[in-house]
Structure 1
C-alpha cells in the first residue's frame, strides 16, 4: 500500500524513512465506485446534521460541549486520562492548580478556540497550522518539543526505541516542509471537481 503514496528511503543514519511522493500525484486521484457511494452518504449525513443543528436551542452551547469532548478524546490518544467533565470543572475553577492531564485538555481547548477565531483572518495553511501548534504546546505537559509552532528539526518515529527498530519512521525533517507545501497547494487548488469531504 505504501508504494502508492511514497516509498521507504535509506537514511545516512542507517534506518529507512517514509518519503511521500509529490502531492497531488501526476495521475490525479480518482474515486473508486464504493468511495463515491460513501462520499455521497457522508454528504447526505452532513446535510442532515446541518438541518438538525437548526433545531438546537443554543448552537453555541452545543459547540462548546462538542469542543470539550473532542479535546478530551484527542488528548487520550496521547495517553491523557482526564475526561470532558474534568476539563469543564477546571474551566469553572480557573484559579485551582490543574492536574497535568486536565491541563493538557485545557491547552487543546485553547488552541481549538484560537484556531476558530484565527480562521476568520487566515486561510488554512502551513502558517495557520504552525500557529495552532504553538497555542497547543504552550504549557502542555505532554509537550516534548522545544519549539512550539515550528516544523520539527529532528527525526521522530512510531513504536520501538529508535528509528532503527520503529514500526514507522515518517519523513525526515528536510522533507517535511516540501510535503506540507504540497498539501497547502492542494488545499488551495482551483480545481473544484474534487469531492469536498475528501
Structure 2
C-alpha cells in the first residue's frame, strides 16, 4: 500500500507544481473542468459530448430545447460554486446540498428534489429493475441520516493521508447514496473539492471520471467489495492507482496543449503582418467554437475585420467552418478539439499505452502493514 500511495502522492505533487510553471494555468483549469463535466455526466447516461458543450457556449440556440448539454453546464456551475464556497464554508452536508441543487437545477434531474436528501428508499441496478433485483440497496432513510452525520464528521479528521481519506470519503458517500439522483456526479466533485480545501491542489486540475469510466466495471466491483466484504485495501489501491494515472495523463495533456498553442500562434504570426491572427488563435483555446461577431468582439475590431481574421485562420487550417445557421457562420478550432477528443477518450492516449495499462490490483507490490 505504501508504494502505491507514494507514487500517487508524487504524481499529484508534480501536477500541482506544474501549474506554477505552465503558461496560462487557467487555460488548463478551463479545459480539464469541461472534460470532467462531460465525462462525469456521460457516466450517468448523458449523451452530450465535450464538443457539444463548446458549441453550446458559443451558440446556445444550437443545442435546442431539452438538450443533454444543459446537464454538463449545470455540472460546471456547481463545481465553480463549490470551489468558491469552500473559501467560506467547509466541505459539509450543507455544501453538498448546494452542489446538488445546482447540478440538478435543470434537465432530467430537476424533478428529483434538487438540494434535498432523499425521503424514501432508493436502489441501484439495471434500468427498471425492482428493489429485489438491485445490485445494491443503500441505507434506509432512518439509517441514512446518522450515516451522513458520521460522514460529515469524518470529513474533518486528518489522521490518515489525504488521498486515502479521499478514497474513503468517496466510497462512503456512494454507499450512503443520499440523493434520488446525481450521487455519482456529486461524489466525484467531492474528491477535487477536498484536495482544494486542504490546499493539496492550488487549482482544480485533478478529475477521476476518465479513469472511473475507462475501468467502470472494476470501479463498481471495488465499491461493492467494500460493502460486501469490507475490502477497503482493494478499493484504496484502485483509487490511488487512478490518481497516479490521471495526474500523469493531465500533466501530459497540459504539455501537449502548451506545445499546440506555441505551434499555432507561431503559424498565425507567420501568416500576417497583423497581430490579430495570433491574438485570435490564443483566444480560441477558450472559445473552440466561434462566430465572426464573437471574433470581432474579442479583437475589438469591426465585423469586416473579424471576418478577415477568421478567413485567414481558415486558410491556414486553424479554423474550419462547421455550419451556417441563417446568416450566422460557425467555426471550429479543430486542432485543439481533436487533441481534447484524443486525451478524453483513453488515459493511454496521453501518457503512453504501456504505462496506462494497469496490472490487476492484486499484483501491485506493497509493504507489510
Cross-structure match for 2:139: 171
Cross-structure match for 1:184: 152
Describe how 1:5-24 pairs up with structure 2 within 5 A. none
Distance 1:111 1:98, change over 3 A: farther
CA distance in 2, matches of 1:148, 1:46: 33
Equivalent residues, number: 161
Question: Displacement of 1:84 after TM fit?
Answer: 1.1
Cross-structure match for 1:61: 27
Question: After the TM superposition, which segments of 4 or more aligned residues of structure 1 sit over 4 Å from their partners?
Answer: none
Query: Which structure is richer in relative contact order (CA contacts within 8 A, separation 6 or more)?
Result: 1
Q: Which runs of 5+ in 2 are unaligned?
A: 165-369
When normalised by structure 2's length, the TM-score is: 0.42
CA contact (8 A) 1:151 1:176 kept: no
Cross-structure match for 2:18: 52
* Aligned-residue CA RMSD (Å): 1.6
Describe how 1:53-132 pairs up with structure 2 within 5 A. 53-96=19-62, 97=64, 99-132=66-99
CA distance in 2, matches of 1:166, 1:148: 24
Q: Which has the higher helix share?
A: 2
- Larger radius of gyration between Structure 1 and Structure 2: 2
Q: Which runs of 5+ in 1 are unaligned?
A: 1-34
CA distance in 2, matches of 1:72, 1:159: 23
CA distance in 2, matches of 1:106, 1:136: 9
CA distance in 1, matches of 2:47, 2:117: 27
When normalised by structure 1's length, the TM-score is: 0.75
Distance 1:143 1:169, change over 3 A: farther
Deviations 1:120-175 (A, max 9, x none): 11100010000100010101224451x21111112111115221221111111222
